[in-house]
Amino acid sequence: MKHHPRNPRARGGRKRQPSRRDPLIGFEAPVTIEQIGARGDGIAHVQSPDGKSVLVYVDCVLPGDDVRVALRQKRGDGYGAEVVEEISRTAAYNSPRCSHFKECGGCALQHMDDGAYRIWKRDKAKVAVQRTGLSADEAEELVAEVEVSPPASRRRAGFSVHVGETGVYVGFHGRFSPTVLNVPDCAVLRPELMTFREAFVGFLKSCPVDDARHIKEVFVTLADNGLDILIEASNEPDLDMRQELAVFVDAQNIARLSWKVGDRPEEPVAARHIPLVKFESIDVPVAPGGFLQATQEGEHALVSAVKSALADIAPKQVADLFCGIGSFTFALALSGKRRTVTAVESDPRAVERLQYAAGQSGSPIKVVKRDLFRQPLTGDELTHFDLVLFDPPRAGALAQCEALAATGPEWILAVSCNPATFTRDIRVLRNGGYKIEKVVPVDQFLWSSHLELFAVLRRAQD
């Protein structure tokens, strides 16, 4: 290889550019909050030193609040900002129910009074419906009042865990922060979950520090017959830890405690009995960390909406897609006049448990394991049904909705936990000839920006 003489003036390696600090980070200005955004934060505009209007997102404020903010980080097309001075608050401001409100990232709107909060949630539903291609007047007519779960009603929670030199922390992350905060008085969780959290902090304090540090998260579900606990950790528990966990489970009257490392299957470490939930008086086993509706009140609201629709439609052959362990399956099969239900789910754990419960109860339910994202029901498969219900994860059911738009039955019941994918999926169905008959908003995540939507759709008749 030919070598060229080195230029003595050349500097080795890449020239390092000096870091450029955003000049607006730390900039302070007074603002009037204009509206609440989709994530529950306040939206306003400030004038930068060069005279430009800058969009800012501000936590813990309401429309009409006058506050002084400091810009903290770039966020999308604007900046996240922190309140450094409260100048005046709107009359809609309510004292937060939780002492951790401003530091904890769990709730966005505890400071909004109940009336304004319900209006904001219903408006969120109306916007989702309008974006399917309907007018504001049509959305106003279609969207029912919001079914809101009360405080201290959420029966599922994932607590982050940090064990370090400063102590043991079991709680939630701070606002836009990786820091784990202890939350001894959460206002949205069921008291049974908070009692467990306090006991688990004590348990971790009693463990050798090196063992406790392996635990990263603990998922708690309140089944109908006790707590189901799933610990996610970086290592398997040793014999001593297993023995201590068994004692802890007995002392706290826990139904089951499982341990999971990475992508490996969860392992039951201590089990007093199988966690169960009832759907239409049928006992259904719950998988460790498995999905349930977040609150019993929210589940009841959604099931009531399904039963109301069934009374008007009176179908005979029903498909329940993305069925989980049967949140709606048994209501579809057993409420009123019995009807045959084909329940489809991809999670093998949920399929196994639903098959068991359906078999034990003698319900007219056929359970099918199938990935509806990759292999949606299509064509002739759909012609057997006169009603389809789907309840997908947050990603929605685009492929299945495209198939339904082409060859779906007369009636569809849609459940969605994401207004954005709800809009996309319903627009596909409307383009295929379906008309929205009714929309019911259900709020299971109190004081957050999350919202669940139930919709009844009917194919337009020629």
Return d(Cα 46, Cα 89) in angstroms, integer: 18
Is residue 287 a contact partner of residue 361, using CB atoms and an 8 Å limit?
Answer: no
Is residue 75 a contact partner of residue 55, using CB atoms and an 8 Å limit?
Answer: no
- Backbone dihedral region for residue 156 (phi beyond 0: left; psi -120 to 50: alpha; all else: beta): beta
Return d(Cα 223, Cα 328) in angstroms, integer: 17
CA distances for 363 relative to 68, 149, 367, 388, angstroms: 61, 30, 11, 18
Burial of 422 (C-beta count, 10 Å sphere; 0-12/13-18/19+): buried
Burial of 113 (C-beta count, 10 Å sphere; 0-12/13-18/19+): middle
Supply the residues annotated as catalytic.
417
Cross-strand partners of 439: 143, 455
Return d(Cα 156, Cα 159) in angstroms, integer: 10
Q: Vertex 116, ends 113 and 122: CA angle to 5°? A: 135
- Cα dihedral 74, 80, 85, 88 sign: positive
Please give the single-letter amino acid code of residue 104. Answer: C
Q: Of 300, 260, 280, 276, give the one whose Cα is nearest residue 223.
A: 276
Helix (H) or strand (E) holding 405: helix 398-407
